[in-house]
C-alpha cells in the first residue's frame, strides 16, 4: 500500500497540477482537503475535478464557525492590527487550516502534508509552523521550494503538465490578480499593484466593496450589542458571529468601508503591496473598540494596546500555536469580562461615524466629566496632584539652571 499525503487543495491550477506531480515523483496516494473558511466559492464539482486529476479522496471541510469563534474573535478582542492597517485576514485563517489538515492526516494515517504556497510568501511559514507545532512527525512537502523536482515555472507550463497527464480543465492562460478570500476579507496582489507608484484599478479589482466615491449618498444606521467582548445582535437580531460578519460585509461593502492599500513587511524580509477588502471586519473592530473605550481603565487599555500590537505580529508570523500567543490571549480574555453593551454608528462613504455607546459597566461618570464641581472631584485637588506629578521635571530644570550659572 502506498503512503498517503494530505494536499491542501483549492481546486485551482497549482493544486490541481500538484496531484499528478505527487503521484509521479513520490508514489503517494493523494488525499485532497479543501478547507472552507467562508470564502463563498462554488464547491460544486470539486470532487470530480480532484478525482479526474488523480486524487484518491477529497474532503470538503467547512470550518467557518470555528474560524470566526476561535481565531477571528481573539484577534478582534486583542485589537490585533499588523503595521497599523492589516486586519490579518489571511494570517488568521492559516493556523485554522493547518489544524484541520493535521486532523485529517491523523484520520487517514498519512505521513506527509503538502501545500502550494510559494517560497516568497508568508503562507509557507504559517502553514508549516502550524503543522510542526501540532504534528512534528509529519513530513512537509512544498513543491515551489523543490526546483530539482518541480520544473513548472509558469501558468502555461502547469496547464501543459495537466494536459500531458490527461487532465483537461478550463483554466485560463491569462494573468489576473492573485487573491485570497475567506469570510473576513479578500486580498489582492499582482498586476498594477506590483508598482507602488501605480494607482489601483478599483473598478476591476474590488469584489466585496465599492469605492467610497461610488457609495450611496445616504447614511446606513447600525446597532450592535456585545456580551463579554463577543457580538450578539445586529440591528436587533440575534446572530452567531459568522452571520454578523457576513451581514456587516454586505453593509460595509455597500458603503465603501474597509478598503486598505498597504505596502507591508513580509516575514521573509521583502516588502509587498496589496489591497485588502475587509468591510465587515473593519466595522466589527471599530464597534468593539468603541465599547471598550467606556469600560477599560487607563492602565489596562494602555497595556492591551501594547500587547495587541505584539499579538498581531505573532499571528502574522504564523506563531499561533505558541505559549506566548496563549498567554497574551489569556490576558485579553480577562479584560473582556465586562465588555458588554450597545454600540450605535452610521456608515457613510467609507466612514464609520459614532452614534452613541452604552454599557452597564461604563466607567464614564457624568458628574466627574462635567465642568461643574461634583461630590467626587474638587478642582482644588488638582493643585497637589500637579505638584507631585511634575516634581521630577521641576527638579531637573532646577539642576540644569544651577549648572548653567
Range of the domain at 86: 4-164
Same domain, 159 and 246: no
106 catalytic residue (yes or no): no
CA distance 292 to 335: 9
Same domain, 182 and 86: no
What's the pLDDT score for residue 324?
98
Q: Work out the angle between the directed axes of helices 391-404 and 381-389 (0-180°, nearest 10).
A: 50
Residue 219: C-alpha distances to residues 130, 207, 252, 346 (Å): 43, 22, 12, 6
What's the pLDDT score for residue 372?
62
User: Within a domain: residue 127?
Assistant: yes
Same domain, 22 and 127: yes
Within 13 A of 67's CA, how many CA atoms are on the CB side? 28
178 catalytic residue (yes or no): yes
CATH of the domain at 241: 3.90.1260.10
Pick from 106, 134, 3, 122: which is nearest to 56 by CA? 3
CA distance 69 to 66: 5
User: Strands, DSSP E only, in 228-370?
Assistant: 230-234, 237-238, 259-265, 271-277, 341-348, 351-358
CA distance 279 to 41: 18
Same domain, 128 and 194: no
What's the pLDDT score for residue 42?
64
Same domain, 146 and 211: no
User: Within a domain: residue 315?
Assistant: no
Catalytic residue of the set 36, 49, 91, 94: 94
Catalytic residue of the set 36, 49, 53, 123: 123
What's the pLDDT score for residue 74?
98
What's the pLDDT score for residue 214?
98
Residue 137 CB partners (closer than 8 Å, separation 6+): none
DSSP character string of 198-234? SPP-HHHH-SS---GGGS-SS-EEEEEEEETTEEEEE
Residue 104 CB partners (closer than 8 Å, separation 6+): 6, 31, 33, 59, 61, 110
Give, for all 405 residues of the chain, the pLDDT tens digit: 899 999 999 988 999 999 999 999 999 999 999 999 998 766 777 888 899 999 999 999 999 999 999 999 999 999 999 999 999 999 999 999 999 999 999 999 999 999 999 999 999 999 999 999 999 999 999 999 999 999 998 888 999 999 999 987 776 666 789 999 999 999 999 999 999 999 999 999 999 999 999 999 999 999 999 999 999 999 999 999 999 999 999 999 999 999 999 999 999 999 999 999 999 999 999 999 999 999 999 999 999 999 999 999 999 999 999 999 999 999 999 999 999 999 999 999 999 999 999 999 999 987 676 666 567 777 888 999 999 999 999 999 999 999 887
358 catalytic residue (yes or no): no
Same domain, 101 and 215: no
Same domain, 153 and 218: no
Within 13 A of 154's CA, how many CA atoms are on the CB side? 6
Same domain, 282 and 381: no
Residue 136 CB partners (closer than 8 Å, separation 6+): none
Same domain, 134 and 182: no
Same domain, 145 and 23: yes
User: Within a domain: residue 329?
Assistant: no
Q: Which residue has the cell 485579553?
A: 332
- DSSP type of residue 28: P
Backbone angles phi, psi at 271, to 5 degrees: -90, 145
Backbone angles phi, psi at 14, to 5 degrees: -55, -55
CA distance 75 to 308: 8
User: Within a domain: residue 352?
Assistant: yes
- Collapsed DSSP state (helix, strand, coil) of residue 256: coil
Burial letters 339-375, b for 16+ CB under 10 A, else e: bbbbbbbebbbbebeeeebebeeeeeeeeeeeeeeee
Same domain, 155 and 187: no
Burial letters 18-56, b for 16+ CB under 10 A, else e: bbbbbbeebebbbbbbbbbbbbbeeeeebbebbebbbbb
Q: What is the pTM of this model?
A: 0.94
Q: How many domains does the chain have?
A: 3
48 catalytic residue (yes or no): no
What's the pLDDT score for residue 152?
94
Same domain, 144 and 215: no
Amino acid at each position: 500500500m502506498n503512503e498517503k499525503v494530505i494536499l491542501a487543495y483549492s481546486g485551482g491550477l497549482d493544486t490541481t497540477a500538484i496531484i499528478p506531480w505527487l503521484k509521479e515523483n513520490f508514489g503517494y496516494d493523494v488525499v485532497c482537503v479543501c478547507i472552507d473558511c467562508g470564502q463563498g466559492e462554488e464547491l460544486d464539482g470539486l470532487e470530480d475535478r480532484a478525482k479526474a486529476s488523480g486524487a484518491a479522496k477529497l474532503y470538503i471541510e467547512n470550518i467557518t464557525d470555528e474560524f470566526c469563534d476561535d481565531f477571528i474573535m481573539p484577534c478582534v478582542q486583542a485589537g490585533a492590527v499588523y503595521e497599523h492597517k492589516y486586519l490579518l485576514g489571511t494570517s488568521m485563517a492559516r493556523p485554522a487550516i493547518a489544524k484541520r489538515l493535521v486532523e485529517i492526516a491523523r484520520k487517514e494515517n498519512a505521513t506527509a502534508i503538502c501545500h502550494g504556497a510559494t517560497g516568497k510568501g508568508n503562507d509557507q511559514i504559517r502553514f508549516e509552523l502550524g503543522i510542526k507545532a501540532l504534528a512534528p512527525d509529519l513530513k512537509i512537502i512544498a513543491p515551489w521550494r523543490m526546483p530539482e523536482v518541480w520544473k513548472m515555472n509558469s501558468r502555461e507550463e502547469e496547464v501543459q503538465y495537466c494536459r500531458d497527464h490527461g487532465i483537461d480543465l478550463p483554466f485560463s492562460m491569462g494573468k489576473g490578480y492573485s487573491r485570497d478570500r475567506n469570510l473576513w476579507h479578500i486580498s489582492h496582489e499582482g498586476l498594477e499593484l506590483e508598482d507602488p507608484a501605480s494607482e489601483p484599478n478599483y473598478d476591476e479589482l474590488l469584489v466585496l466593496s465599492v469605492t467610497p466615491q461610488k457609495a450611496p449618498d445616504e447614511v446606513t444606521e447600525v446597532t450592535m450589542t456585545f456580551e463579554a467582548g463577543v457580538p450578539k445582535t445586529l440591528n436587533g437580531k440575534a446572530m452567531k458571529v459568522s452571520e454578523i460578519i457576513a451581514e456587516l460585509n454586505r453593509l460595509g461593502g455597500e458603503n465603501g468601508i474597509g478598503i486598505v492599500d498597504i505596502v507591508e513587511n513580509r516575514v521573509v524580509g521583502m516588502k509587498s503591496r496589496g489591497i485588502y477588502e475587509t468591510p465587515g471586519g473593519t466595522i466589527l473592530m471599530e464597534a468593539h473598540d468603541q465599547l471598550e473605550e467606556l469600560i477599560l481603565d487607563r492602565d489596562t487599555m494602555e497595556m492591551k494596546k501594547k500587547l495587541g500590537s505584539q499579538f498581531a505580529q505573532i499571528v502574522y508570523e504564523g506563531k499561533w500555536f505558541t505559549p506566548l500567543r496563549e498567554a497574551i490571549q489569556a490576558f485579553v480574555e480577562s479584560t473582556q469580562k465586562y465588555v458588554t453593551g450597545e454600540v450605535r454608528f452610521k456608515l457613510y462613504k467609507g466612514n464609520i461615524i459614532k452614534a452613541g455607546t452604552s454599557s452597564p459597566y461604563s466607567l464614564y461618570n457624568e458628574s466627574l466629566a462635567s465642568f461643574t464641581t461634583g461630590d467626587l472631584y474638587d478642582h482644588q485637588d488638582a493643585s497637589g496632584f500637579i505638584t507631585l506629578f511634575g516634581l521630577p521635571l521641576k527638579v531637573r530644570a532646577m539642576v540644569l539652571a544651577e549648572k548653567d550659572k
